[in-house]
Amino acid sequence: MRQTLTLGRLFDIRVGVHVSWLAVYAFMTLALARGLGMLPPPEAYVLGAMCALALFASVVAHELAHALVARRFGVRTDAITLFLFGGVATLEEEPRSPKADAVIALAGPALSALLALVALALVAAADRFVGHGPIRDALGALGTYVVVANAVLAVFNLIPAYPMDGGRVLRALLWRRMRDRAAATRIASRVGIGFALLLVAAGVLVVAATHDLVYGWYVVLGAFLLRQGWSQERAAAASAGALNADIRAAA
């Protein structure tokens, strides 16, 4: 991606942040700090920034799981980039089998679910062993945020809307049944387009009903997924067309 700031490398994979994510980070820090009324403003903003960083780390861990499992299947990852709508691990090539496609896709949600369980256990331990007071409340708020953030990452990404993780699992199942990756990609992309349209419509209806522009985020997210779905569908159609042309030429 253009306008990306490189933060470093993990397991020889470049990790970067698109400038659009910096705006999300600032917004989340302010929003979270306002919800921490049990703390004075300076501490609330510090904890809000820590929660936003926890989300950053959670998304990186999610994408790193994809990348490391992909490496086990012989697929290298060029970079992990955080941007406005989350994160993406840029694979150098497509997985070579339906099994690899499905396992790579499931690795991210699986790790996010595991992190949510670990954070939940730590919150329970802090609640039991840390004395009452603002410190315990702050630790509980941070831990709870990590639990919720990773649970949402796990569940939302499993929605079967390509190119999300669940959509890639759907593509892998279709690919295995049809023995045609391009055709499976087209079908999975169309399912993703349908979900994106529903998300946009739901966002518009909720904004109209509540007059709260915060729900406009769902419209923006749906529009992004719609664009991605159309892009993937066109790419699959072009790939299938090129293959058919090659077959005709060989004949």
- DSSP string covering 163-223: TSHHHHHHHHHHHHHHS-HHHHHHHHHHHHHHHHHHHHHHHHHHHHHH--GGGHHHHHHHH
Count of beta carbons in the 10 Å neighbourhood of residue 24:
19
Known catalytic residue at 43: no
Among candidate residues 43, 63, 92, 94, the one labeled active-site is 63
The residue among 73, 70, 88, 59 whose CA lies nearest residue 11 is: 70
Count of beta carbons in the 10 Å neighbourhood of residue 227:
12
Amino acid at residue number 128: R
Amino acid at residue number 243: L
Q: Which residues pair with 5 in a beta bridge?
A: 17
For 157, the 3-state DSSP assignment is helix
Active site residues: 63
